[in-house]
Amino acid sequence: MNQWTFPIKIFAGHDSLLRLKQFRQERILVVCDPFLEGTENLNYILNELRPQNEVSIYTDVVPDPPISHVVKGVEFIQKLQPTVVIAIGGGSAIDLTKAVLYFARHMGYSGVRYFTVIPTTSGTGSEVTSFAVITDPTSQTKYPILDESLLPQEAILTPLFVKTAPPKVTAYSGMDVLVHAIEAIVSTGANNFTDALAEKALELVFEYLPKCFAPGATEEDRMGMHEASCMAGLAFNRAGLGITHALAHQLGGQFHIPHGLANAMLIARVVMFNAFHSETAYEKYVQLAKKLGFADNGTDKRDALVALVKAILQLARTVECPLNISAAANVSAQEARQKVSIMADKALQDMTYQTNPYAASKDDLENLLLMIM
């Protein structure tokens, strides 16, 4: 029996931050990226929360949050004992907050009654998922955490932060949205509900990501991508992901390639790989190409698949994503090849591998990695 629930409240639009006025007489911890501290946008949020609440700020956030930062965050929460936690930032700030709350609960602190997320990038969908990713720098491994307790109570989608996102952040996070949706559609956990969300997310990505990347993006453009990110997050949170993410986690852990960019480097090749090995995935890719307008209803299956792959690659080029390791990271192809075997081994253990439409072998994963050298 399938179970489908939306346990999280979503508030979207230019006035969505008014939702913060609900908090009264709370001890609030705001976790945010350090570069937000002192900015006009963050001060606006703090002014909405004060003076009705006691507000503290925590900014010890770094990309790909390491285990050591999670430990420090748990210690901070145990000392502060907040009743409300608000995470403001991209995937790293949100994932750190989720991991800290997860381990704080396991260590006996259960005083947080409300967890709100305000994403500042349109990419991870982390504001509506039960996923978080933390990093072990020693082993250069990213560890996904999956637990229903990681879900926030609410997400606030506001254009306030994303309207000034740098082009690279817009590009890489936007490609992350695309991969979330494509992988959710062919994952083993997909159903009609997740397909509907993922397909709409892709429609919005192909329409709005080029506009957001170019100068002069409007608030409507930014909100289009923000909502696409949220929809894709809702889709993959129930459906699952696939080997694009399993491999991208390793590229990030080994070479510090931004997650969305790592996904962009792999997705076209993974689509072809899955289509070759899974008839179900092949059919879904073909239907997706037709629904998105890249192929007509009468188009041959193979041509429709190729049209989808070409559209993905064209979008990646439009937003200037380098599509090989040498261009994406300060590492030679020879050096990268030395890491292929260990990355493939770790990808097999990544939880996102489990819902790929085809159980790829270690050799398969190695070959996919070698294609982007």
* pLDDT of 158: 93
* pLDDT of 295: 96
Q: 236: pLDDT confidence band, cut at 50, 70 and 90?
A: very high
Q: How confident is the model over 254-308, as pLDDT tens digits?
A: 999 999 999 999 999 999 999 999 999 999 999 999 999 999 999 999 999 999 9
Q: How confident is the model over 171-207, as pLDDT tens digits?
A: 999 999 999 999 999 999 999 999 999 999 999 999 9
CB proximity list for 184: less than 8 A, separation 6 or greater:
190, 194, 195, 197, 198, 232, 235, 236, 239, 240, 241
Domains of the chain: 9-162 (3.40.50.1970), 167-370 (1.20.1090.10)
**pTM, two decimal places:** 0.93
**Cα pseudo-dihedral 309, 372, 250, 177, rounded to 10:** -30
Write out the DSSP string of 244-296: HHHHHHHHHHHH---HHHHHHHHHHHHHHHHHHH-HHHHHHHHHHHHHTTSS-
CB proximity list for 190: less than 8 A, separation 6 or greater:
184, 198, 239, 240, 284
* CA–CA separation, 355 and 316 (whole Å): 25
Q: How confident is the model over 63-110, as pLDDT tens digits?
A: 889 999 999 999 999 999 999 999 999 989 999 999 999 999 999 999
The token duo for 42 is: 């963050």
Q: How confident is the model over 328-360, as pLDDT tens digits?
A: 998 998 999 999 999 999 999 999 999 999 999
What is the percent of the chain with per-residue pLDDT over 90, rounded to a whole number?
86
Residue type, 205: V
Q: 372: pLDDT confidence band, cut at 50, 70 and 90?
A: very high
* CA–CA separation, 48 and 207 (whole Å): 34
Average pLDDT, the chain: 94
346: nearest Cα among 142, 97, 159, 100: 142
Q: 1: pLDDT confidence band, cut at 50, 70 and 90?
A: low
CB proximity list for 292: less than 8 A, separation 6 or greater:
199, 202, 203, 206, 308, 311
Three-class secondary structure assignment of 144-179: EEECHHHCCCEEEECHHHHCCCCHHHHHHHHHHHHH
Is residue 222 within 8 Å of residue 162, measured between CB atoms?
yes
Is residue 113 within 8 Å of residue 101, measured between CB atoms?
no
Q: 25: pLDDT confidence band, cut at 50, 70 and 90?
A: very high
